[in-house]
Every structure is written in structure tokens, then in C-alpha cells.
Structure 1
Amino acid sequence: MKKLEMYMLGNLKIILDGKAITDNISYKSAGLLSYLAVNEERTFSRDKLSSLFWGTSSMEAARYNLRYNLWSLRKILGDNKKKLKIIDSQKDTCKFNLHNNIYIDVFHMESILKKSSKHDIKEYIESLEKAKNIYKGEFLEGFYIKDCPEFNDWIFFERERFQRTYFDTLYKLSEIYKEKGKFLKSIDNLEEMLTINPLQEEIYVKLIEIYLEMGDRSTALYQYERCCRILREELNISPMDEIKEVYKSIRNHSGPALECKKTEDKELLEDENKWIIYNENFTDKDTKILAIDCYPIKNIQYYWISNLVKEIIDNYNIQVLEGFPKYYWKDVYRIESSVGRITEGIDLQDNLTVMTEKNKIFSAVLELLYNITKENSLSIFIKNIQWMDEISFDFFKLILFKYERLNLQFTITGDKSHYRFKEIKTYFDLKML
């Protein structure tokens, strides 16, 4: 049986039995193969694939083009009836068969991260480093097919998803290395995060803290000036108040600053302070536990909600999720592309106002939570809630106000002096564990 390797993180590379065959495959055939491979759990109708890649053609012409491209792929990949086919093509459907002789980098990265555990910190670091090294660039970097808007939208959402995963991995590594005193490795990961988003002010704060702890006051000052320059050139704004306070600390002290804040961050990292938001309807029956951390990432809204949806899709039985109404999945799909693994034929070419879209997303995800907690309870652990994006925090409060409908309960950690803790305490029963 031939070995197929597909590398999609970066420029697309397809290798068969050690030989690169990317250039032997047409652009649309490569797009079709990539789409089927990433969605390997799903069986697609031929009409769906025809309209996805040849939507501007007549249905008859689109079906012919699909047949031809499938035939071409089977020929190049060496698919035949005597062996387990890579592409299972039936009269009306198509499916990608993922088996042991197939390697796909995106699945490898996700598998490593899913299996990683903090119980053994050495193995945890090794897992994060392995996942980090798999990411060679954006998902299908530079790949674009003319007159295929839905397919190109899919690529965009997948790029965002894998970039978030990579960003999270870098952040976790930077925090661990900082705690272990391996400052240069922590700096390397923070600098890599800045190559993804150079406007992320919190990363500059982290860099400044590390340089101060190393006793390198001049480089700490440089990081502040660098942040100011980039914000001025790109957005014509000044830094946030937090980084200005950091600057004052550097100017006014010759030794390491921010000792109080660093100690507090360490406490948060070690989860010493936990609070439970009590829900009297929580039954603790066959409870499923999900952990959705928050990170200091600004200007990316729906970030936490998107991660919540992804965790649900990754941890719940697909048959249960397929029973959730498609019109709700359509609205959830607006923020999380992995919904495409559950249902096909989602068309987002509607024209909604920002507020209408937000309301529809909130309603859909709330219904999803209600649906999955009907039979079994759900416990959600949120780390560093003060870093949750604003829209997600609005949704979080909506969940709390709807607690009576839901068999779920939250456990949170974070900066207890932050205004969000005060707001939660005002309306809800918050108890320290």
C-alpha cells in the first residue's frame, strides 16, 4: 500500500511513496483533495462538491468536472479496487479514507496537543515543541482558487483556526520557560508571537518583564519604544495604560520592577486561586469537563467562544452533535470553521449587521449548550478570565443569567481585583474553592 503524506501548514506539499507529486496535480484537484482530507470524518454529496468548486458552471458541467478530477486523483494516487481507497467515490457521494499509511500534518499537530498533559512537565514541553515545529506557515499558504468563494472562505477560517492553535502553543511555551528561568527560550516564543501579530501590546509587557528580571534595563526600554513605534506607525495610537505604567517603573527604578505583578502571574499560572460560580440546577451526573483558557490577545473577538465550540466538537459524540438543528450550526459556523465537520452545505452569503450577527451567534451557542446538557452535566474550567475578549465575556454573562436552563457549572481563575470579578460577584453566587 502506497504511503501518502500531505503537508498543509505552509505551502501545500503532497508526497506519494517519498516522491513529491504536488506539481502533477491540478490546482482544483489539489484543493479538492485537501478539502476532503481535512474533513475526513464527513461524507460529501457529489452535488455539494460540484457547486463548491465549479459553482459558476452549469450543474451538468460541474458534475463532469468533478468526475474528471476524481478520476485524475485516483490515477495519480494509484487508487484501485484491490486496495483500501484513499478516496471512496460512490455514485452520489465522496469521502476521504484516513488510514495508517496516510500522514496529514494538521492532524498530527492536533493529536499531539490533545494528548499533551501538564502532569509530566518535561513531556508536556516536548509535546508543545513538537506541535510548534509542525507549523511551517499559514494553512494552505498562498492557496486560492478563482470563482470558488465558499472554498476560499473555508481556507480563511481554517487558517485562523490553526494560527490560533499555534499562537496558544507559543504562549504556553513562553510561560513555562519563564517560570523555569529559561528566559531566552521564553523570549524566542514571544518574538515569534509578534511575527503573527506585532500589535499585541501584552506581549511587549511580557518581554519587558523578562528583560527586567534578567537585569537588562536598556533592552526593556527598547521593547517599550518598539511597541510605541509600531502602534504609532500602524494604528496611529499610543500604548495602553498598563504598558505606560511599566515604562514609569523602568524609568524610576534601576533594579527589577513589577515584582508584585510577576508574583501574581505566577499564582494564576499555578491555579492557586479558584472560584466556582454555583448553579443550583447542576446535577453532577456523568459530568463532562472542558477547559477553555484565556490568553492576553486583544482585537480578536469571539476568541473564547470559538474555542468553547471547538472543544465541544472535539469532545462530544458526532451523532449527538448532528442532531442539533442546521440553522443553529450555520450561525455557530460564523466563528468556528470546525462546524464544517458536523454539517455540510452551509452558505454564509447573507448580509447581517454586526449586532444581528452577534445576537444570532449568542442564541445559537446558547442553544448548543442547552442541547448537550439535557442528558449529562457539563463543568467548564476557565483560566485567567480577565483576559477573555469582550464579546466572549458578554456571552459568558448571558450564560450565567440563563443558568436555570442549563445543567452546567463554571470554575474560574484570574486576577480577583479585576473589574470582571467584581461584576460577577454583583449578580452571581461566587465561592472560592
Structure 2
Amino acid sequence: MLNICFLGKSKIEYNGESLQDKLGSKAIALICLLALKENGYLSREKIVGYLWPDSNIEAARYNLRYNLWLIKKNIGSDEYGNSFLNVDNEFCCINKKYDFKCDILEVMKFKPSDNDSVEGLLKLKRLFRGDLLEGCFFKKCEEFNDVILFERINFERYKVKILKRLIDLYENEDLFDSVIEVIKEILEIEPYDEEMVLKLMDTYVKCGKRVAAITYYNNYSNGLAGSLGISPSNELKKKYNEIKALANKDLCYDRIDEYKNISGSDKKVDRMGFVIYSDCLKYIEYFWIADVLDKLVKLDKEEIFSCLNNKELWDLGYIQFSVLKFCSEQPDIIQGYRREVIDVCIVNAFIKLLKHICERQNLTIIIKNSSNLDNISANVLAYLKRLQINELKLMEE
């Protein structure tokens, strides 16, 4: 049985034996060219022009004859006695009757249908081990290299088509986490596909992850502005505003109406809003700020953090790791990220967060043992008092 793989590093096996070294790079390139014709004929003249453009006509024809012989010598007949190649004086092609497997032929045969299954699509997806003829480039064979570059783009389109069909099937089963994963794969290939960005934001909302949708939009918008100098479409802006409005509405209707003081007795709060009971440790930088952030995270309200982009969440994540749950993407190594974080970034993100909450409802922060505030937190608290943010109440015990 013959198995051929051209996506990623090329691999050709006949009856379990690798033929890479026996065939050589030009013979493998020739097989790839014939496979791309989908078992159609390719003229000897065209093949010579692709693979030996700088050779004189006699040398080029000899090279072609030698490589055709090499292929026939190493790739024997199939179980039905069919030869792999059909060759005459003018044309070459892969024998349509020959029984073999080839990844690019499997991909090129794909057409979305009602008979598609998740298992079948995942099998096709796994064929994409890399680019077509990955790492392959022949000097002085510009036309052949151009063909391969064009086909690489073409196979990216095939992959996107397969992934989009996979999304349809996942959506039918309400497998929204899988939908998000596949959409992100598509956006790695086509980062400015606004149809997919819209679908990703919609899917985040279906999962109850409005903050992730808002954060993704902010990052996408910043990317467009930075890379292309443009802004998202009106349709995408409208979707963002709808999601943000829903997030704000949910935030406004939440309430916490009681909390425990240090002795354990209950204290009532007679107005709508959040009450945060925080603590201090004098010699640990940012302790009070980190403790307030932890209490906000434990409210389990994603909308609270919707005003912050990934960069700001990462900044706060340095002092309170739990904040990172609201990021749409995680930093690779949070410890390494500290080199890029300066104190003012953390403070600005914290103040922005408090302002965002207080624009929507009251926030009361009870500070236990305020005499033990660390230096940075003490300075931030003093600054907050000077700011006099509406609907923010700071109470020291």
C-alpha cells in the first residue's frame, strides 16, 4: 500500500518502507505536481519548465526520464496490478485506478454535505501537519516555487472550509467551548475575518462569557488600528455595544446587602451596591489592593472586569493571580511578564476598575487594620480619597 503526505514535511511510504531517500527531492516534487492536478495530465514540457528551467533541453529531458524511472522503480504495482504512473511521449499522470492514500487528494475531495461527521472532519483536520511541502524550496525554479506558494494559500482555504463545517456540527450539539476553539484556529489563519470575530463574540455570550467577548473586541480593535490603521465595521461595533449594554445591565441589578465584621456580627447595608471587606499586611507590597481584587473576583461577576483589556488584567494578575480568569488569553509565564509591568500600570488598572464599578452602582470598601497598610497601598488609598470618586465609600476600622 502506498501512503503519501505532502502537508508538513513530505513523507512517502510503500508497503511500510520510507522512500524519501530513494526518490530524492525532485522526484517527490514531481509526484506532488501530478497529485495537484487531481489525476489530470501534465505535459513533459511543463514539468521540465517547473523543475529544470535552467538546463538545456536534452539535459532537462534526461532528468525527467531518470526521475520517472526512479519513481516506477521504487513504487511498485498495487494489489490489483496497476502501475502508479501513466506515461507517454508527451504527458504524465497518476493512474486513476491505482489504490493509494494521499493527504492532499483527501483534502481536495472535501465538499460540505449533510453526511459530514465530527469524526470525519477531525480526521481531515489532522492531515494538516504543516504547509504544503514544508521547507521545500528549489533554487532557480521560480515558477515551481510560485505554484507551491499559491497552493499553500489554497490549502489554507481548504482548512478554513473544513473548520467552518466543524463549527456547524459543534453548534448543533451546543458544544460552545469547542466552537470557540475552532473559531480561534480560523482566526490564526485569517485574523481579520470579521464574520468569525462576530461568531466568536456571539459564542462567548452564549457561554455567559460577556467579559471575554468585550475583551476580545478591544484587542481586535487595537490590532486593526495598529496593523492596518482602520477600525472595526459598524456591524461589529454594534454587536460590541449590545454586549457591553447587557453586561452593564447585569452589573446594575446585582446587590450585596450584608457583610460580616471582624467580630462576626452582621451589618446591614441600606442601599444597592457592593460591600468589600478587606485586610492589610504592612510589609507586603500591594497586599491591600490584592485583597480587594480577590474579594471582587469572588463576587463571581465577570462584568465587573469588562472595562479592562488583557494587558491591564495581566498587570493586576501580577499581584492577584485570580484576576487572570477573566482574560481571553493567558500570558505564557506570569513571572516573566513582571519585567514589563511597572507600578503605575498596576495602580492605573486598579483605579480604572473602581471607577468602572462606581459608574454603575455604589461600592463600599471596609478596611480592617488600616494602620497596617503597606506603603504602596497606603499611597493609593490616599490618592483615592483625593479623587473622591462618586459612589465609592472607603471606611477604615
The verdict on a shared fold, with TM-score over 0.5 as the criterion, is yes
Task: Name the CA distance, whole Å, in 2 between partners of 1:40 and 1:252.
Answer: 52
- Report the AA paired with residue 11 of structure 2: K
Corresponding residue for residue 369 of structure 2? none
Quickly say closer, same or farther: Cα 1:224–1:154, change in 2 above 3 A: same
How many residue pairs get aligned? The number is 249
Quickly say closer, same or farther: Cα 1:255–1:9, change in 2 above 3 A: farther
1:161 is aligned, of 135, 154, 174, to 154
Task: Name the CA distance, whole Å, in 2 between partners of 1:16 and 1:256.
Answer: 64
Task: Name the CA distance, whole Å, in 2 between partners of 1:47 and 1:254.
Answer: 65
Matched-pair contact (CA < 8 Å) for 1:215–1:255: no
Corresponding residue for residue 366 of structure 1? none
1:193 is aligned, of 177, 183, 186, to 186
Corresponding residue for residue 47 of structure 2? 49
Corresponding residue for residue 170 of structure 1? 163
**How far 1:250 sits from its partner (Å)?**
2.5
Extract unaligned runs of 5+ from structure 1. Answer: 258-433
- Report the AA paired with residue 239 of structure 2: V
Corresponding residue for residue 318 of structure 1? none
1:223 is aligned, of 209, 216, 227, to 216
1:117 and 2:119 are equivalent in the alignment: no
Matched-pair contact (CA < 8 Å) for 2:167–2:182: yes
Task: Name the CA distance, whole Å, in 2 between partners of 1:41 and 1:143.
Answer: 22
Q: Deviations over 1:332-360 (max 9, x none)?
A: xxxxxxxxxxxxxxxxxxxxxxxxxxxxx
1:240 and 2:219 are equivalent in the alignment: no
**How far 1:193 sits from its partner (Å)?**
0.2
Task: Name the CA distance, whole Å, in 2 between partners of 1:98 and 1:110.
Answer: 15
Corresponding residue for residue 207 of structure 1? 200
Task: Name the CA distance, whole Å, in 2 between partners of 1:60 and 1:105.
Answer: 34
Quickly say closer, same or farther: Cα 1:40–1:218, change in 2 above 3 A: closer
Does 129-138 or 200-209 show the bigger shift? Answer: 129-138
Matched-pair contact (CA < 8 Å) for 1:6–1:105: yes
Corresponding residue for residue 5 of structure 1? 3
Corresponding residue for residue 183 of structure 1? 176
- Report the AA paired with residue 253 of structure 1: L
Task: Trace 1:23-62 onto structure 2 (pairs within 5 A).
Answer: 23-62=21-60
Q: Deviations over 1:138-179 (max 9, x none)?
A: 322332222222222222332222221211121222233234
Greater CA radius of gyration, 1 or 2?
2
Corresponding residue for residue 252 of structure 1? 245
Task: Name the CA distance, whole Å, in 2 between partners of 1:256 and 1:246.
Answer: 15
Corresponding residue for residue 143 of structure 1? 136
Matched-pair contact (CA < 8 Å) for 1:52–1:148: yes
**How far 1:128 sits from its partner (Å)?**
2.9
2:84 is aligned, of 83, 86, 103, to 86
**How far 1:234 sits from its partner (Å)?**
2.5
Task: Name the % identity.
Answer: 33
Local SS of the residue matching 2:169: helix
- Report the AA paired with residue 227 of structure 2: E
Corresponding residue for residue 17 of structure 1? 15
TM-score (norm 2): 0.57
- Report the AA paired with residue 49 of structure 2: S
**How far 1:201 sits from its partner (Å)?**
2.7
Corresponding residue for residue 277 of structure 2? none
**How far 1:83 sits from its partner (Å)?**
4.7
Task: Name the CA distance, whole Å, in 2 between partners of 1:128 and 1:139.
Answer: 19
TM-score (norm 1): 0.52
Task: Name the CA distance, whole Å, in 1 between partners of 2:233 and 2:168.
Answer: 22
Task: Name the CA distance, whole Å, in 1 between partners of 2:86 and 2:195.
Answer: 48
Task: Name the CA distance, whole Å, in 1 between partners of 2:222 and 2:208.
Answer: 23
**How far 1:6 sits from its partner (Å)?**
0.7
- Report the AA paired with residue 233 of structure 2: M
Task: Trace 1:223-302 onto structure 2 (pairs within 5 A).
Answer: 223-254=216-247
**How far 1:66 sits from its partner (Å)?**
1.1
Local SS of the residue matching 1:11: coil
Extract unaligned runs of 5+ from structure 2. Answer: 251-397
Task: Name the CA distance, whole Å, in 1 between partners of 2:136 and 2:194.
Answer: 30
Task: Name the CA distance, whole Å, in 2 between partners of 1:141 and 1:170.
Answer: 21
Matched-pair contact (CA < 8 Å) for 2:82–2:98: no
Task: Name the CA distance, whole Å, in 2 between partners of 1:224 and 1:44.
Answer: 48
